[in-house]
Every structure is written in C-alpha cells, then in structure tokens.
Structure 1
Amino acid sequence: MAHTVGFQLADEAATVKMGNQLAELMEQGAVIYLHGDLGAGKTTLTRGVIQGFGHQGKVKSPTYTLVEPYELATANVYHFDLYRLGDPEELEYMGIRDYFSPTAICVVEWPEKGGEFIPTPDLDITLRYVGEAREIEIKSISPRGDSIVEKISSY
C-alpha cells in the first residue's frame, strides 16, 4: 500500500539531514527515484544519503559519467544522474543492471530518462522550491518503501 509523506526543508542543512534519516532507515538495498527542477536539491539529498552510510568526502553529481559509485563499509551506494542521457538504451551498454543488486542503494536523478532499463523504485521522491526553502514529498512504491516511509513519518 503506497504511503506518502511531505516535509518542509528550510535549507541545505535540512535537506542533507533528511538524506541522513533516509539512510538510517534503509536496512537493506533500495531504489530511489528523485524528481525536481535543476537546483531543487536532488544532489544535496543524495549527499545526505551517501554520508548517512559513512562517506566522508565530497559527493558530486555524476552528470557526465551517469553513475558515481560509493563502495562503503555498510553499503554500496550508486548515484545516477540521467539528465544528459541521450537514449535509454545507452544504459544497457554500460551494464546498468549490474548496479541494481538486492542489497545496493541506487539513487536515480532524472529517472524518467531511463525508460524500462531501470527497475521500479522503492521510494519516489519529489523536491520542489517553496521560496528559499524546499518541500519534499516521499512516496512509497514497494513494501520496502512502505517500511521506510512509515518510520520516517514518526520523526
């Protein structure tokens, strides 16, 4: 059963913190789709998720490489940015299916460009501008997503 929650994110720090909370609640792998205009906070939220799994360094958007892998002690996190993808079939050539293992965390910016080459998400997240702040809507798509959204609702 799909659950949806929404929160106001006052600033960049709040967006990173939300990503940290999501990471905390992912007990196994997950596929997360991120939607929003350029600059809406997709990469900032992803930075929070990746840092939530223990990454200490920079988190950059893989706009030109399509994927940035983070093989960490607690999880393998793969950050995809499909904004510049010309044809979804290119994903097949780069071996995209290999990244989506049952225990990997895959965060996908601009998932609509991936077509049928990327799996259905556990969480479908939309970030929107609200003045200087952001609004986040987190929708569960799978039982794994339901579990995460139920827990984040209680924060």
Structure 2
Amino acid sequence: MNYPVQKNTLYVGGLPEEVNESILHSAFIPFGDIKDVKTPLDQATQKHRSFGFVTFLTVNYAFPERIKGGEQGWAAQPIWADADTWFERQQQEEEMKRLQAEHQATMLAAEELHRKKLADEREGEKEDEAEGTKSDPMAAAEAEALK
C-alpha cells in the first residue's frame, strides 16, 4: 500500500520488531501534536518492515539565517557541505599537528646535535691547550717563567 508523502510526515527507520505504532506515538509525542502513526506491514509475515511514518498536525521548518556574503554564505550550501568541510578541516588540523610535532622533534634533534658538537669542540680546545704547552717550547718556557 502506498502512503502519500506529506511535508509534515517523518520517516523513522531501523525500528526493532517489538516497536509498534503505540510505542512510536509515545516516542514522538513530545515533539508536537501527532495526526497519525503508520508502520506498514509485510504481507507475508504480518510484521512491520522495520520502518514507520509519524505525521504531525503542523510542522515548522527551520531555515538557517543568511549571513553576509549572500550566495557565498553557508545558508546557500547543501546540508552536507558543512559536514564535508568540517571533516576536511579535521583532517587538515590533524596533518598540521603531525607536521608541527615532526618539526619540533627535528628541531630538538638539531639542537642536541649542535650542543654535542660545541661540547666536543670545547673538549678539543682543552686537549689542544694541554698538548700545546707540552709540544711548544716557547709556551713551556713561558709557563716555567711564570712559576
């Protein structure tokens, strides 16, 4: 049996077997005055086909307010466009965080390498100074004279 689709009729899918029209009515009554509830039956099993229709007496549609930019505003976009851009934004943010973490790790490794190189150079200078006084006779004589 075909039911006419009305703008005040809500399709409800994925209903468990135990849900009947009374339960469906009770579930949706907080949202407005209900005119009718239907759960179409399967002719062979005489059980509903896991979906139903709730028809309200009146339905007011909510439209998002237009923002500056006219046709460029988010209100002009299809409903899924915001979800798509949100998902893309999430992916971009995750990639940015990953790149920042990678960059920070690289910078820390470079700083550590630089510190090690400076420490090695200082050690080399100290060794050169100690060796320099032993091998340079002028430096040795100067050191003797100062003593």
* Band of TM-score, shorter chain: under 0.3
Higher relative contact order, chain-length normalized (CA < 8 Å, sep 6+): 1
Larger Rg belongs to? 2
Report the TM-score when normalising by structure 2.
0.24
Between Structure 1 and Structure 2, the one with more helix by share is: 2
Between Structure 1 and Structure 2, the one with more strand by share is: 1
